Structure 1
Amino acid sequence: MREWFLDQLAMYAAYHRDKRNEATHHLGVPMIVFSLMVLMAPVRLVEFEVGALTLAGLMIGLLLLYYVLMAPLVGIVAVLLYGALLYGAEHLAGYGTGFAVKSFAVLFVVGWIIQFVGHYFEGRRPALFTNLTQIFMAPAFLIAEILFRLGLEKGLLAEIEARKGRFLPAGEQQAAE
């Protein structure tokens, strides 16, 4: 399972090499994830004395658990960041389902526009058009990217770089090897 995770991160890295594209994704990805949490937050699955487990909490919780298991530091940072977004999403959902749906629609559309602007700069279509699971890799990779810039997770970076060449456009694959 870790090998698959590393391959997916390498694919994500190969599709996001332009600094402008990277910058747009650091804004667009959290916006899209937040929008989805806002949409799912009104769906209460289980009520507890201290609150409810929402569909948003369940879905992001499972994804964050996966990140923690695959890349612990990336996962812990993701828990902190996306946990805060979940808190905000559930707060917004408290204004009613209508407000949540409208918020979702605006954030989701704007987030995707930002993403596509980034891919215009990249000159390559989004990775998810090739592999839909890339949607789930984006939050982890963006956090990893920040950790790499801070000089952390050098082993993870080496693993990604070693695999990335397979996912580059044909003319660039040989140059990367």
Structure 2
Amino acid sequence: MKTLDQWLDEYSISHQNKTNQMLHKLFVPLIFLSALGMLWDWQYMDVRAAYVMAFFGMIFYISLGAGVAILMLVQVGLSFAILRFWSQQQGSIFLPNLYLFIFAWAGQFLGHKIEGKKPSFFKDLQFLLIGPVWVFAFAFRKSR
């Protein structure tokens, strides 16, 4: 299994351009939020599909270390708080999250067009879980 540094180093290869980096720091958290948001309305016996997705994601994050797990637990918690408030105000939040998801991915692909490199997840789908960590990588990267 790869270490956190190995994941981040490999992810960083296709994220060298400053504009692409800025777009990712803006849009990756929106993709994270909207992915959970599209699952928010789906539930069975008070267990939301978003909770199940977050649970399995957290297993991966725990394998990368306590710091990553704590950071992502905070991000999941903030996302759930936003989604809970949003759904209380609006009811179903699937469609606005679908639109946000599409918009944010368009921003990601624009960044990769500027960079001139394919997104990392074309190589390995686990990079979809690394993106949110990469946004905050400065918090755990070892000094080089």
- Give yes or no for TM over 0.5: yes
Query: What percentage of residue pairs aligned between the two structures are identical?
Result: 24
Report what 1:93 is aligned to.
87
Structure 1, residues 4-27: CA drift from partner, whole Å, max 9, x if none? 665433321111111211111111
Is the alpha carbon distance of 1:77 and 1:5 closer, same or farther for their aligned partners in structure 2, counting shifts above 3 Å? Answer: closer
The one-letter code matched in structure 2 to 1:70 is L
* TM-score, normalisation: structure 2: 0.84
Report what 1:19 is aligned to.
18
Whole-angstrom distance in 2 between the partners of 1:61 and 1:136: 13
Larger RCO (alpha carbons 8 Å, 6+ apart)? 2
Give the alignment of 1:23-102 within 5 angstroms.
23-47=22-46, 53-94=47-88, 95-97=90-92, 100-102=93-95
1:127 pairs with 2:126: no
Q: How many residues align?
A: 143
Unaligned ranges ≥5, structure 2: none
Is the alpha carbon distance of 1:11 and 1:153 closer, same or farther for their aligned partners in structure 2, counting shifts above 3 Å? Answer: closer
* TM-score, normalisation: structure 1: 0.70
Unaligned ranges ≥5, structure 1: 48-52, 159-177
Whole-angstrom distance in 2 between the partners of 1:22 and 1:64: 24
Question: The residue matched to 2:136 in structure 1 has which SS?
Answer: helix
Structure 1, residues 65-104: CA drift from partner, whole Å, max 9, x if none? 421331221221221123101221233234333xx12212
RMSD of aligned C-alpha atoms? Answer: 2.1
